[in-house]
Structure 1
């Protein structure tokens, strides 16, 4: 047996390990999947839907259980999970629980998108999967498509996109694309970027090169906001950018904010920062005071936009 095949060619913290023979081991978001539940004790019901059978692109839909059969329509939040484009899913405990908390706090219907991951599916697969999923959600706006929870309980006049880390990057790309392409007539009200990933301040980082082997480097509009000609035409009217003081991506989040302000985009942008916290702290310590405060900030943005 060729022992060189067991050589590790990529490792990202304690989250993923990739071997020379192509094997991929993920240590986050794989063994802690939470099953969907119609009558869970937290007051939020969930169901899983397969959007594209050929690729496996799917989503988890969240709805306050009290809304079922009520005739009430709620704001719609579409969420893109983080994980460096390599790990995570809507079904793992961290993201299932977090989106559940968002649904409870903001009183919304939420759709959490499951896109395909690198390295098996390198960039731009995650963006294309997410756009297909977003268009599928938007197709329910006329009340004619099959998913009843979206058709009956989602208010398509109040649609928001959100994501954390790499998911925030994807959420930005979706809003940018919605600004220049028709999203089934749906207009986005707001975009929430939590600890967004737009590379590092020291050139093109190895993580991005790994997930996007065909990248053009600093000219890559998905990596560098300053290279994105779509900034001025983002397809939303409001934006919330959330940063963390001790996050290594903080400076790039500030760079995104300044780039947006200079772009000529006509919407309103708010930026908030949590002190003494690191990257996506709220996922790993969700009951802390700072995590609860961040959750309320997101809910307030959605409810008052």
Structure 2
């Protein structure tokens, strides 16, 4: 959007990507959709999940929130749990691993799936343009995997004592789903520390896009849709623009989906998400099946819901159904 003067008359809007983010000429940034930060908890009263914040890299400085479900008394000290490395959503420009909605969501997943979670606080545009977020999420997965080696850096006892390194998943919602796809692709061609292998990944309503409209996406003004502008804002130097394989895995010349790391994949969509990503999620699912990938891929759609509905009301019946599908996927 062209620059304009705000109501104060003394600063100019440089980038207007409402409702997600606004950048002003004086360097200030508004993120009106950010949910409030909440502190970690010694024990969540509803789920019994404990959480804490850690620094897993000093250079660059990277943090995460860890979640540990209530352990069984008989085998608590040495109980081994599936590991989920979680990448939060937010259009690659807002939200946080420490925000209320992601904290609540991770508490539910940790307690119901009985998994230990590392929710990665990846850096975001415009302070850090892509591919920074991709590299941060990869670094988070590598840090978790490094606990399977003799000398992990910045090791954490929750992962050392309770992590099952034969059962590592990655997961994310919306732009977090985009991050999951790209980290899973990297895990398919690049070794993780300690010889650890990725078991599976889930992508809820993933932010996948492209240079040409698909399905019910608008034909007129497609490049000016918020989805198109968000990518160009977050990754202005992206080779191929909207058809960069990190955004459009089906673009001409994109790496084969047969190289996705892991052996299990879950993709979900919402039927009312046509102006966002519903059709692309289904096409991605079909493309994985057609690629020759050797794993097991599943697709679930809630027809009467919109984008990431389960993040905003975790108590609705449809939200509970989606969370149960993710939980069952992680438990199998």
The bucket for the TM-score relative to the shorter chain is over 0.9
User: 2:244: which partner in 1?
Assistant: 220
Structure 2 counterpart of 1:209, from 216, 219, 232: 232
Alignment of 1:129-208 (within 5 A): 129-142=136-149, 144-145=151-152, 146-184=155-193, 185-199=195-209, 202=213, 205-208=228-231
Deviations 1:5-43 (A, max 9, x none): 62223233333211133321122336x211112233230
Cα distance change on mapping 1:5 and 1:50 into 2, 3 Å: farther
The answer to whether the Cα contact below 8 Å between 1:29 and 1:93 also exists between their aligned partners in 2 is: no
The answer to whether the Cα contact below 8 Å between 1:160 and 1:190 also exists between their aligned partners in 2 is: yes
User: What is the DSSP-based 3-state SS (H/G/I as helix, E as strand, rest coil) of the residue aligned with 1:155?
Assistant: strand
Cα distance change on mapping 1:67 and 1:58 into 2, 3 Å: farther
User: 2:217: which partner in 1?
Assistant: none
The answer to whether the Cα contact below 8 Å between 1:176 and 1:230 also exists between their aligned partners in 2 is: no
Greater shift in the superposed pair: 77-86 or 258-267: 258-267
Gaps of 5+ in 1: none
The answer to whether the Cα contact below 8 Å between 1:15 and 1:26 also exists between their aligned partners in 2 is: yes
Alignment of 1:1-305 (within 5 A): 6-29=11-34, 32-41=36-45, 42-66=47-71, 69-142=76-149, 144-145=151-152, 146-184=155-193, 185-199=195-209, 202=213, 205-215=228-238, 216-227=240-251, 228-247=254-273, 248-304=276-332
TM-score by length of 1: 0.93
**Count of aligned positions:** 302
- CA distance in 2 between partners of 1:169 and 1:144 (Å): 31
What is the Cα deviation at residue 288 of structure 1? 0.5
- CA distance in 2 between partners of 1:83 and 1:229 (Å): 25
- CA distance in 2 between partners of 1:12 and 1:285 (Å): 25
- CA distance in 1 between partners of 2:67 and 2:150 (Å): 18
The answer to whether the Cα contact below 8 Å between 1:64 and 1:107 also exists between their aligned partners in 2 is: yes
Cα distance change on mapping 1:5 and 1:258 into 2, 3 Å: farther
Cα distance change on mapping 1:110 and 1:199 into 2, 3 Å: same
Higher helix share: 1
Greater shift in the superposed pair: 242-251 or 66-75: 66-75
The answer to whether the Cα contact below 8 Å between 2:110 and 2:116 also exists between their aligned partners in 1 is: yes
The answer to whether the Cα contact below 8 Å between 2:209 and 2:242 also exists between their aligned partners in 1 is: no
Deviations 1:250-270 (A, max 9, x none): 011112112212222111111
The answer to whether the Cα contact below 8 Å between 2:70 and 2:111 also exists between their aligned partners in 1 is: no
- CA distance in 2 between partners of 1:61 and 1:231 (Å): 30
Aligned-pair Cα RMSD in Å = 1.9
The answer to whether the Cα contact below 8 Å between 2:125 and 2:234 also exists between their aligned partners in 1 is: yes
The answer to whether the Cα contact below 8 Å between 1:188 and 1:236 also exists between their aligned partners in 2 is: yes
- CA distance in 2 between partners of 1:151 and 1:28 (Å): 35
Larger Rg: 2
What is the Cα deviation at residue 90 of structure 1? 1.0
What is the Cα deviation at residue 230 of structure 1? 4.2
- CA distance in 2 between partners of 1:144 and 1:23 (Å): 41
User: What is the DSSP-based 3-state SS (H/G/I as helix, E as strand, rest coil) of the residue aligned with 2:147?
Assistant: helix
